[in-house]
C-alpha cells in the first residue's frame, strides 16, 4: 500500500501522515526492492498501526482525529460562498458577463 492509498483508506491528508511520520507514529515503511525511493506500507504494519490508533489515549489517535477535523473544516470552508476562491470565481463571471452585454 502506498502512502497515498493509505491516506485515502484512512480519510486523512498527506500532511497529517507526514505529521505522524515526524512523531514516529506512522506505520512502518519499506522501500520496494529494485527501486530507490518507492515506499510501501505492508499489511502487517498497517494492522499494527490500526491497533495502535484504536487505543483512546494514543498520541497517533489524537493526531488523526485533529487531521480529520481540519480536513472537514477545509472542505466546508471551500464550499462557502464567502471563500476567496468562490468570490474570485464570481467576480470573473461578472466581468465576463459585462463584456458580453
Q: Where is pLDDT greater, at 35 or 5?
A: 5
> Which has the closest alpha carbon to 7: 62, 58, 73, 67?
67
Question: Mean pLDDT over all residues of the chain?
Answer: 90
pLDDT of residue 101: 66
Where in the chain are the domains?
3-100
- Grid cell of 19 as nine digits: 505529521
Whether 3 and 18 have beta carbons less than 8 Å apart is answered as: no
- Helix boundaries (H) for the chain: 3-10, 14-22, 43-53, 59-79, 84-100
**Is residue 91 over pLDDT 80?**
yes
The model's pLDDT over 36-89, given as tens digits with 9 standing for 90+, comes to 888 899 999 999 999 999 998 899 999 999 999 998 998 899 898 888 988 999
**pTM (two decimals):** 0.71
Amino acid at each position: 500500500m502506498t502512502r497515498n492509498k493509505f491516506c485515502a483508506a484512512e480519510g486523512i491528508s498527506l500532511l497529517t501522515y507526514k505529521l505522524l511520520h515526524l512523531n514516529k507514529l506512522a506505520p512502518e515503511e519499506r522501500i520496494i526492492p529494485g527501486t530507490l525511493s518507492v515506499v510501501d506500507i505492508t499489511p502487517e504494519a498497517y494492522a499494527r498501526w490500526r491497533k495502535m490508533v484504536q487505543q483512546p489515549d494514543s498520541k497517533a489517535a489524537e493526531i488523526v482525529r485533529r487531521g480529520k477535523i481540519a480536513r472537514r473544516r477545509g472542505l466546508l470552508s471551500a464550499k462557502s460562498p464567502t471563500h476567496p476562491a468562490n468570490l474570485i470565481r464570481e467576480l470573473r463571471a461578472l466581468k465576463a458577463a459585462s463584456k458580453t452585454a
